[in-house]
């Protein structure tokens, strides 16, 4: 495979951006590579500057559930651009998108549009603290909730890959109110609540973890979180930035039948543009300015072009009745192939991860024991077979509606030939 142009571009990029990238996992360091520079993408395929074609299972880390460059989404954005890129004022599109979201997430009685998942989570936590008058937050080891200070305590994905224990530049004071529990371990949560339950504002969780690799909740775990937060007057926040519109049209809360107090959405909800959402019970969200004293604002929040992309993609999702059945069964075919050749893997809906460890991965401790060298070998093998997947042991593979039977067959063949080598 010729990657000369990507390598040249990478050298140039390194002169301008730390590590040549605008987000660390793109650097491909943990798999011993330098990044491919992408020139375009369409449907299930992505093309680099050297003209190589790949079947893409990153899908921009989740947003492109219908594939790349979906014409109806692109057209909606072009039309919005012609009407003005940003107004910094109210517009009709915001209401239409909010209605669409609430139709699928009835727990989000009031919601706010923001620009990134990081911002959505940061704001949801501020609302939870404002509403409860409490400071402490419980988060789970290995769950990632964006890069705001308070949540960079042993976060997953990028940090695990780069082995930064909790990250420099975050004052200890910023994580002093962040309590860490173990995913799928009710006892670890129980312990925190019995020690200081009346000071805990909220428990935040990825209802299906996907940033330490895919780690589904054990049966009863989310119910337990719902019960214990209620018992102690704390809020339950589902960070559905990945799972929203991914596990079902109503996200993980519909998939598992558990209603959180607050929800964050991102990725799919923006249709490929920078847009995210936080919202929840009316009385909590009424604490947000201008109704209440929890401050949160944004120059580009509700940006008309981003709103147009999100609205167009959500409407397409509504009009694709076989969406979830199809992406889940495609993912199941990949998952079966992995198991057939003796690989260890987890799958939840259309999200899956191969884990290079003998143990079943149910939490962060098990995930970090994976052999990342073996993973790198697997990743390079897949790339040589024109399969573009996340260059990290601690990320998900995202299956989209654009992946054809042939794409899945070719991927199955690549998985099988890894073991045969
Ligand atoms: C991606 C992600 C975020 C952060 O979203 P950004 O848009 O990258 O800031 C937060 N939470 C979860 C669960 C995510 O997967």
CA distances from 135 to 127, 371, 411 (A): 11, 38, 47
pLDDT band at 164 (very low <50, low <70, confident <90, very high): very low
Q: What angle do CA 182, 186, 192 make, to 5 degrees?
A: 75
- Ligand 1 centroid from CA 322, angstroms: 26
Q: Which atom of ligand 1 is nearest to the CA of 266?
A: 7
Does the active-site annotation cover 144? yes
Residues 35/6, Cβ–Cβ less than 8 Å: yes
Instruction: Give the CA angle between residues 298, 115, 111 to the nearest 5°.
Output: 80
The yes-or-no answer on residue 239 being catalytic is yes
pLDDT tens per residue across span 235-263:
999 999 999 999 999 999 999 999 999 99
pLDDT tens per residue, range 365-375? 999 999 999 99
Q: How far apart are CA 57 and CA 316, in angstroms?
A: 20
User: pLDDT tens-digit profile of 195-242?
Assistant: 999 999 999 999 999 999 999 999 999 999 999 999 999 999 999 999
Per the CB < 8 A criterion, the answer to whether 150 and 137 are in contact is yes
Per-residue b or e along 44-53, where b marks 16 or more CB atoms closer than 10 Å to that residue's CB: bbbbbbbebe
Indicate the average pLDDT of the chain: 95
* Distance in angstroms (rounded) separating the CA atoms of residues 263 and 281: 9
pLDDT tens, residue by residue, 90-142: 999 999 999 999 999 999 999 999 999 999 999 999 999 999 999 999 999 99
Contacting residues for 182 by C-beta, under 8 A, at least 6 apart? 140, 141, 188, 363, 364, 365
Please compute the mean of the pLDDT values over residues 186-191 and round it to a whole number.
Answer: 95
Tokens 């428990």 -> residue: 203
- Using CA of residue 74, residue 387, residue 363, residue 360, what is the dihedral sign? positive
Q: Are strands 45-48 and 38-42 parallel, antiparallel or unpaired?
A: antiparallel
Mutate to test the pocket of ligand 1, among 183, 242, 264, 268 (most ligand atoms within 8 A of CB): 242
The residue annotated as part of the active site, out of 45, 267, 378, 388, is: 267
Return the residue whose CA atom lies nearest to atom 11 of ligand 1: 145
pLDDT for 153 equals 84
Rg (CA), the chain: 21
Q: What is the pLDDT of residue 176?
A: 86
Residue 161: is its pLDDT beyond 60?
A: no
**How far is the C-alpha of 190 from the C-alpha of 224, rounded, in Å?**
10
Which is nearest to 344 in space by CA: 334, 357, 330? 357
**β-strand pairing of 262-265 with 276-280:** antiparallel
Q: How confident is the model at residue 171 (pLDDT cuts 50, 70, 90)?
A: confident
User: Distance between CA atoms of 374 and 355, rounded to whole angstroms?
Assistant: 10
Per-residue pLDDT tens digits for 327-349: 999 999 999 999 999 999 999 99
Helices (H), 257-340: 282-285, 304-318, 323-340
* Chain-centroid distance, C-alpha 59: 11
Residue 365 appears among annotated catalytic residues: no
Rounded to a whole number, what is the largest CA-CA distance in the chain? 63
For 22, which DSSP code? S
Pocket flag, ligand 1, residue 222 (CB < 6 Å): no
How many whole angstroms separate alpha carbon 211 and alpha carbon 104? 24
For 234, the token pair is 């704390």
Among protein residues, the one whose CA lies closest to atom 8 of ligand 1: 117
Going by C-alpha positions, the residue among 238, 239, 237, 318 that lies closest to residue 271 is: 318
Average pLDDT score over residue span 380-408: 97
Q: State residue 420's pLDDT score.
A: 59
Ligand 1 atom index nearest CA of 143? 13
Query: Residue 182's pLDDT is what?
Result: 93
Count of alpha carbons within 13 angstroms of residue 259, beta-carbon side:
9
Distance of alpha carbon 362 from alpha carbon 217, whole angstroms:
8
Tokens at residue 252, please? 């993980």
Binned at pLDDT 50, 70 and 90, residue 156 comes out as very low
Identify which has the larger pLDDT, 10 or 158: 10
pLDDT of 154 higher than 70: no
According to the model, what pLDDT value does residue 157 have? 46
Write out the two tokens for 151: 């949540």
Confidence of residue 421 (pLDDT cuts 50, 70, 90): low
Q: Are 269 and 277 in contact (CB under 8 A)?
A: yes
Q: Residues 269-324: pLDDT tens digits?
A: 999 999 999 999 999 999 999 999 999 999 999 999 999 999 999 999 999 999 99
**Percentage of the residues of the chain whose pLDDT score is greater than 70:** 96
Name the token pair of 129. 């603290």
Which of 144, 151, 105, 137 lies closest to 229, judged by CA? 137
Residue range 35-68, pLDDT digits in tens: 999 999 999 999 999 999 999 999 999 999 999 9
Contact 112, 301 (CB under 8 A): yes
CA of residue 96 to ligand 1 center, whole Å: 24
**Residue 242 CA: which ligand 1 atom is closest?**
15
**How high is the pLDDT of residue 419?**
72
């Amino acid at each position: 495979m010729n990657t000369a142009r990507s390598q040249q571009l990478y050298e140039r990029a390194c002169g301008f951006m730390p590590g040549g990238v605008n987000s660390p996992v793109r650097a491909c360091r943990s798999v011993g590579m330098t990044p491919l520079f992408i020139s375009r993408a369409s449907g299930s395929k992505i093309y680099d500057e050297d003209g190589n074609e790949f079947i893409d299972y990153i899908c921009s880390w989740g947003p492109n559930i219908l594939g790349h460059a979906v014409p109806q989404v692109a057209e909606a954005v072009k039309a919005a651009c012609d009407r003005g890129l940003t107004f910094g004022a109210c517009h009709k599109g915001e209401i239409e998108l909010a209605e669409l979201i609430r139709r699928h997430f009835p727990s989000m009685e009031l919601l706010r549009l923001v620009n990134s998942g990081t911002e959505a989570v940061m704001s949801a936590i501020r609302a939870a603290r404002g509403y409860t008058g409490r400071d402490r937050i419980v988060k789970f080891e290995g769950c990632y909730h964006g890069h705001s200070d308070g949540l960079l305590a042993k976060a997953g994905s990028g940090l695990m890959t780069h082995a930064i224990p909790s990250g420099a530049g975050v004052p200890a004071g910023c994580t002093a109110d962040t309590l860490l529990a173990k995913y799928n371990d009710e006892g670890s949560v129980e312990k925190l609540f019995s020690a200081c339950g009346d000071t805990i504002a909220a428990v935040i969780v990825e209802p299906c973890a996907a940033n330490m690799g895919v780690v589904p909740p054990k049966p009863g775990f989310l119910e337990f979180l719902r019960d214990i937060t209620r018992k102690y007057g704390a809020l339950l926040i589902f960070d559905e930035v990945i799972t929203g519109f991914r596990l079902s049209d109503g996200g993980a809360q519909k998939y598992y039948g558990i209603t959180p107090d607050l929800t964050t959405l991102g990725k799919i909800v923006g249709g490929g543009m920078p847009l995210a959402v936080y919202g929840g019970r009316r009385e909590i969200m009424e604490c947000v300015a201008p109704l209440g004293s929890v401050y949160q604002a944004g120059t580009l929040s509700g940006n008309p072009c981003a709103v147009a992309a999100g609205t167009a993609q959500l409407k397409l999702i509504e009009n694709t009745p076989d969406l979830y059945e199809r992406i889940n069964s495609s993912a199941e075919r990949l998952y079966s192939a992995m198991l057939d050749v003796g690989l260890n893997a987890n799958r939840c809906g259309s999200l899956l991860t191969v884990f290079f460890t003998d143990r079943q991965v149910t939490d962060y401790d098990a995930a970090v024991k994976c052999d990342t060298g073996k993973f790198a070998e697997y990743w390079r093998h897949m790339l040589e077979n024109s399969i573009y997947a996340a260059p990290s042991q601690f990320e998900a593979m995202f299956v989209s509606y654009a992946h054809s039977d042939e794409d899945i067959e070719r991927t199955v063949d690549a998985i099988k030939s890894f073991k045969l080598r």
